A = this chain, B = another copy of it.
Amino acid sequence: MAAEEREVLAANAAFYEAFAERDMEGMDALWSPRDDVACVHPGWEGISGRSGVMTSWRSILEGPAAPAIACAQERVYLLGDVALVTCVETIPNGELMATNVFVRESGRWRMVHHHAGPIAAGVDDESPPELLN
């Protein structure tokens, strides 16, 4: 595995560690400081802008319903100073697919986008669910 891919996977792991440990400070630090970041939580409309994204994370991490979470099946897609990671998130009531986007800023990979949505139970690539797209 290339060094860059290892770095991106480490950044992705830090995101899930901050999530699992309800570490709002760590969550804030791993997101890019730029304003034009975005986040799509499962079932939510998209949130645009750093302030709104951080407010959403605070409400999740400090809320009573914050789920246990684990990440698996990570795949990295390197696009120069941008990297995508897709992975499966396991939470108590199901599985989600996530797309995480990182940008290399001053040598450090920082998150600029997170999108997670549910995987339908019993679905695989060969049996598309009704809600196609």
Residues of A within 8 A of B (CB): 36-38, 40-48, 52, 56, 59-60, 63, 65-67, 69, 73, 75, 77-82, 84, 86, 88-89, 91, 93-94, 96-99, 101, 103, 112-113, 115-120, 123-125, 128-133
Q: Name, among A52, A77, A91, A131, the residue most crowded by chain B CB atoms within 10 Å (CB to CB).
A: A131
Q: Is A128 in contact with B59, judged by CB distance below 8 angstroms?
A: yes
State whether A125 touches B52 (Cβ < 8 A): yes
Q: How many copies does the complex hold?
A: 2
Is the beta-carbon distance between B132 and A40 smaller than 8 angstroms? no
Contact A132 B84 (CB under 8 A): no
- With A42-B117, A80-B80, A99-B40 in contact, is A131–B93 under 8 Å at CB? yes
Q: Are A36 and B77 in contact (CB under 8 A)?
A: yes
